């Protein structure tokens, strides 16, 4: 068996320990932070684990030490898979509690109520036949996105019509519409 000082994994472990200890002190810690000390520590740990695995496989160190890198990487992937399952479970829970389709939007049946800047953008870039812009209601501006039927929107004095076929604001009509 070779001397400990001739083993790559030992030097990688020493580098990890030194970098970790230097990060504890304020002056050297700030310098290492600027130089990416945490990344260097991660690199040193990976070098130690891979080096120990290679040295154990080659017989330079006792073979039972091959368990150390295998256990570290196996533990990582077990935690990775567990977290993936938790993420999928949480996504399903959110999907069940917050359905994405509250009202099926049909551009021939519904319109959108948006602030002026967004109304012009949506009407010009998407296949929405018309959008509506809210006018000032006392001192409050409402910027909610509201979907309403065109038949029920014929009664509102608060909304101005924006046709998507006409992108020039000067050509837009100012007919009254209301969503109820």
Average pLDDT, whole number, for the chain?
75
88 and 154 co-located in one domain: no
Range of the domain at 165: 110-177
The 10 Å Cβ neighbour count of residue 87 is 10
- Domain assignment of residue 68, yes or no: yes
**Does 93 share its domain with 116?**
no
Q: Answer yes or no: are the C-beta atoms of 4 and 10 closer than 8 Å.
A: yes
Cβ-contact 146, 113 below 8 angstroms: yes
Q: Do residue 47 and residue 89 come from a single domain?
A: yes
Q: What is the pLDDT of residue 124?
A: 73
Rounded Cα–Cα distance for residues 66 and 144 (Å) = 61
Dihedral sign of CA atoms 25, 26, 32, 38 in order = positive
pLDDT of residue 87: 97
According to the model, what pLDDT value does residue 110 have? 73
Alpha carbon distance 11, 179 (integer Å): 73
> Is the residue at 83 inside a domain?
yes
* Final residue belonging to a domain, choices 97, 122, 137: 97
Please tell me which residue, 176 or 1, carries the higher pLDDT value: 1
Whole-prediction pTM value? 0.51
pLDDT class for 42, splitting at 50, 70, 90? very high
pLDDT at 152 over 50: no
CB atoms within 10 A of CB 117: 10
Which residue's entry shows tokens 């870039």?
Answer: 125
Residue 102 lies in a domain: no
Give 137: exposed, middle or buried? Use CB within 10 Å, 0-12, 13-18, 19+: exposed
């Amino acid at each position: 068996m070779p001397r400990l000082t001739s083993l790559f994994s030992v030097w990688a472990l020493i580098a990890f320990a030194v970098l970790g200890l230097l990060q504890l002190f304020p002056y050297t810690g700030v310098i290492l932070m600027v130089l990416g000390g945490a990344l260097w520590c991660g690199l040193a740990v990976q070098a130690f684990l891979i080096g120990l695995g290679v040295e154990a496989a080659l017989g330079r160190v006792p073979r039972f030490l091959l368990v150390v890198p295998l256990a570290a990487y196996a533990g990582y992937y077990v935690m990775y898979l567990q977290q993936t399952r938790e993420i999928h479970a949480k996504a399903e829970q959110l999907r069940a509690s917050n359905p994405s389709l509250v009202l099926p939007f049909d551009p021939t049946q519904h319109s959108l109520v948006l602030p002026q800047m967004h109304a012009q953008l949506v009407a010009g870039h998407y296949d929405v036949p018309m959008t509506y812009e809210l006018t000032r209601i006392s001192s409050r501006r409402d910027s909610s996105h509201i979907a309403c039927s065109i038949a029920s929107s014929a009664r509102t004095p608060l909304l101005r019509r924006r046709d998507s076929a006409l992108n020039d604001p000067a050509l837009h009509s100012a007919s009254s519409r209301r969503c109820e």
